[in-house]
Amino acid sequence: MDLIRIDDFNVAIDPETNFWSIFDEEDMPEEVFDLFDRIRDRLLEKMKKYRFEVEFKTVYLNPTEKCNACCPYCYIPPETRGRGMEMDYKTLRDILERVETLSVENVIFHGAEPLTVRDLIFKAMNEFDYNFGIQTNGFLLTEEDADFLIDRDVNVGLSFDSHHREIEDLLRGNGHYEKITSLLDIFDGYRRLNVITTINKLNYEHLPGIVDFLAGKIEAVLMNPVRGTSRGGRELRPDPVKSSKYFIEAVNRAINHTKDGNRIVIGDFANIMLGIVAPYSRVLQCDISPCGAGRRFVSICPDGVYPCGEFIGMNEFRVPLSEIENLYSHFDSVRNRTVERIGECRDCTFRNMCGNPCPAEIYSEHGTMFEKSYYCEFYKNMIEHAFRVIRRGDTESVIRLKSLKKMYELTV
């Protein structure tokens, strides 16, 4: 067990299982040691399954390389967006039929900008039975489209980087602030609507304000640090320590709004908390190693299949569309990328709470996936704050404990 001190309390953590105990005394209480001894082997089994199981539950489906915007940090290379390859409906249909053999349940239409091929996507949503989602910049989304998506229970993600109009329009294109605010009105509290904020140099100080702005309008916001997958992304990366302070303030604001009756959760933080409270049930797969790329999900594009969207344009990771049925035998290089193989991460107490993301970012920066993340300190601060939130009794304001209780009882 590793022992760490956060503010005025102690935490003992077994990094192999993420078993932990918070205590004030000098030593961890004897009965907790006994419990740990009793269940460690079972927890190890669960962690192993969670980390290494290959099961494609989700497909990110990119029917087009075209985009109607030009965000400076976009991980899709400008040459790809400029080339603009697209799927025709026959190809899309064929893919949706074939991924059924992989036991895929969720299909998320993703970028470049999926609404540039709206008719194709809506036709597929009418024809197939998957849990559908769409991630969009929203520019082309009309009131009629919103009705269609709401009617079919589609998960809708809107990109939105700042409640300051000038920064939003600078990052996401002229008129974007206006468009997103009108879409938030149109969707009017639709429960499957969420927002992605890409944290960067120009907006990290806005994170708490963004939470205030969104509270009461949506219940979930993802706040993802910009990945240095592209040069533009690297140039816009914020200072990891400074940005973590604003992120933590945003988390605290979200908790306060939730307590005041306007539930709003920052998905990335909730996932880190899940990594502590129910480590083998984490939904997002970025903070575990190997990550979910090419293991729990893939990104299917007009030019082939990539382990994750962040790898788009890196030909060494691309598999031809003809291999869809054989994806289990591809992507070994990403699936073998474990924290145990990475210098400082190997002995880090938080290694199975952080996972050292993101392999695509690290690879494009260093030419290898086996370096430590630029965001290491950001993650450390976030995990420490998660323990603070647990310690002060605010867990329920971030994750719904009731639904986890059954799993918890089974584990213990």
Ligand X SMILES: C[S@@+](CC[C@H](N)C(=O)[O-])C[C@H]1O[C@@H](n2cnc3c(N)ncnc32)[C@H](O)[C@@H]1O
Site string for ligand SF4, 9-48 (x = CB under 6 A): ----------------------------------------
Site for ligand X in 156-195 (CB under 6 A): 159
Does the protein bind ligand SF4 through residue 190 (CB under 6 A)?
Answer: no
User: Residue-wise over 144-173: b if at least 16 C-beta within 10 A, else e?
Assistant: ebbeebbeeebbbbbbbbbbbeebbbbbbb
Of 110, 176, 295, 380, which lies in the binding site for ligand X, with binding defined by CB under 6 A? Answer: 110
344 contact, one of ligand SF4, ligand X, none, CB 5-8 Å limit per kind: ligand SF4
Of 6, 85, 196, 390, which lies in the binding site for ligand X, with binding defined by CB under 6 A? Answer: 196
226 contact, one of ligand SF4, ligand X, none, CB 5-8 Å limit per kind: ligand X
Closest CA relative to residue 88, chosen from 129, 66, 121: 121
Of 136, 203, 244, 285, which lies in the binding site for ligand X, with binding defined by CB under 6 A? Answer: 136
Q: Which is nearer to ligand SF4, 63 or 253 (CB)?
A: 63
CB of 30 to ligand SF4, least distance (A): 29
User: How many residues make contact with ligand X (CB under 6 A)?
Assistant: 20
User: How many residues make contact with ligand SF4 (CB under 6 A)?
Assistant: 23
Q: What count of other Cβ atoms lies within 10 Å of the Cβ of residue 239? A: 12
Of 71, 193, 251, 312, which lies in the binding site for ligand SF4, with binding defined by CB under 6 A? Answer: 71
Of 59, 67, 149, 218, which lies in the binding site for ligand SF4, with binding defined by CB under 6 A? Answer: 67
Site for ligand SF4 in 337-356 (CB under 6 A): 339, 344-345, 348, 350-351, 354, 356
Site for ligand SF4 in 361-380 (CB under 6 A): 372-373, 376, 379-380
Site for ligand SF4 in 379-408 (CB under 6 A): 379-380
CA–CA gap between residue 159 and residue 76 (Å, rounded): 15
Closest CA relative to residue 195, chosen from 142, 265, 247: 265
CA–CA gap between residue 77 and residue 256 (Å, rounded): 39
Site for ligand X in 63-92 (CB under 6 A): 67, 73-76
CB of 364 to ligand X, least distance (A): 10
Q: Which is nearer to ligand X, 17 or 198 (CB)?
A: 198
Q: Per DSSP, what are the bridge partners of residue 106?
A: 58, 131
Please identify which residue in the block is written with the tokens 């990594």.
275
Q: Which residues bind ligand X (CB under 6 A)?
A: 67, 73-76, 110-113, 135-137, 159, 196, 198, 224, 226-227, 229, 233
